[in-house]
Structure 1
């Protein structure tokens, strides 16, 4: 297994900014948000910018694509009354749309990892997970290695289902509100076989807002990086693509770059989760200290937006 490593991931939740612009424009009385809605601007589409940024840094990352069903088709009456659900509904996308197909295939062709972002109601649904995996693989033309559940939602059998449908790893264990190595410094083997869980160390939205408190946000990142280096840890980070839009989320792009630069300067292996798995874990026998299959996933997961 490699020593100190930083794994880069992006959950593709909302690549389109549609009626969110109207919602935030009215809620915050923001001319900017209203402008993006009225002019049909799409500041959440950041694929090219992320790839260019990472290419310049000499790294690649994992992109997890969501295949979320329509709220009108799957949500109950209670779900329809919640504004957050409608924001997600209007931001949903179809991975078979020509524009998304081109992005997915281009990322894959250029060496970025494409994985599955299991839909919100799929964590306890074997058939749904299997269908979502198959749909993404149809776009790619080959099998995928793993992914992360939407909202990091885990059920008592999610990992079992992931393994049974042919995924080799999952990266859902963690929180949107806290950061750190709560689940240890190394990937987890929940079934004492090759299936691997990569706990999330840091999600960008758990940090102090770098647009207002950049030094505080960087101090958290640096503290985690130092801890990872001192313990030869595998550190997994999540930056949603929309956070690379500097107008709405100032400071996050700079923070991401500085995190990668620090890791590289300090000898870390930096790259996609799937690449790390294939290079260091695929043929490795499970260690004796593993978490059993009865591990209670629900006690260690937190929903996120």
Structure 2
């Protein structure tokens, strides 16, 4: 561990939908609450949670990784046959353009502030090297610098093909290996090298949606996080967590508080806390 820390907590955020469009309609229907439709107004941006999130991390002296998605658009890139399908809306509706002025501004703020920006490979890029390469090149052009690693959308992974794509495209790590429904150190306590070279896999320990819902019982959710921290500390582990930015909004009560407590408790226990890219550069990438 860097600087003799007992264990590490890697913080990651997949930027899927920073604007509440698709979810406004979805929640109005599934939660039977038409007030969600009010969030379709352009001046309402409940999922743009970045300012508060960055302020918190800056105040704690930590940095995280933000994985940026360059996904296809339902109405401009997909077949009309998909426009009325639930799958089409779920996968491609409400996505953002990384050249949008607001996204460009966010990327500049992240880059200049010391946060890591990584690649969030699109749904179909899991087994499409050319598409993944194009997304990586596009992101790096907009960002103005190269990216070190990333994670695939929906945690879609083909082993070892996806990792071969990452390595051959010049990426040094991947954080896809994990579950959207279960949490724990299922894939080990440390990053590993699937090809016995400089390319590294960071297993995902917990995605926020897999944890007990803090809006139902915050103490149950915190008990799960606390147990993971204890297990990480006891095993000198690298614990990697994923919090989507929209989970810091009022649509998902309790997850913001849970994240803040997780980070502060890890720091109190003497953990190294930061992004996978920083940990790779500090210690993991060296042999």
Question: Does the TM-score normalized on the shorter chain lie above 0.5?
Answer: yes
| Consecutive unaligned residues in structure 1, runs of 5 or more | 285-305
Contact 2:49/2:245 (CA < 8 Å) preserved in 1?
Answer: yes
Deviates further, 143-152 or 81-90: 81-90
RMSD between aligned alpha carbons?
Answer: 1.6
Count of paired positions: 283
Are residues 1:56 and 2:59 paired?
Answer: yes
Q: TM-score, normalised by structure 1?
A: 0.88
1:163-202 correspondence runs (5 A): 163-202=167-206
SS of residue in 1 equivalent to 2:215: helix
- Tell me how far 1:259 sits from its aligned partner: 0.5
Tell me the distance in 2 between the aligned counterparts of 1:217 and 1:202.
12
Deviates further, 31-40 or 263-272: 31-40
1:125-140 correspondence runs (5 A): 125-140=128-143
Deviates further, 90-99 or 119-128: 90-99
Contact 1:18/1:40 (CA < 8 Å) preserved in 2?
Answer: no
Contact 2:91/2:123 (CA < 8 Å) preserved in 1?
Answer: no
- Tell me how far 1:37 sits from its aligned partner: 2.3
Contact 2:200/2:285 (CA < 8 Å) preserved in 1?
Answer: no
SS of residue in 2 equivalent to 1:261: helix
Contact 1:7/1:271 (CA < 8 Å) preserved in 2?
Answer: yes
Are residues 1:217 and 2:217 paired?
Answer: no
Deviates further, 15-24 or 68-77: 68-77
SS of residue in 2 equivalent to 1:20: helix
Aligned with residue 96 of structure 2, among 93, 97, 105: 93
Contact 1:119/1:150 (CA < 8 Å) preserved in 2?
Answer: yes
- Tell me how far 1:40 sits from its aligned partner: 5.1
Look up the match of 2:262.
259
Distance 1:45 1:186, change over 3 A: same
SS of residue in 1 equivalent to 2:126: coil
1:239-258 correspondence runs (5 A): 239-245=243-249, 247-258=250-261
| Consecutive unaligned residues in structure 2, runs of 5 or more | none
Look up the match of 1:208.
212
- Tell me how far 1:19 sits from its aligned partner: 3.8
Q: Deviations over 1:141-167 (max 9, x none)?
A: 111100000001112410001000000
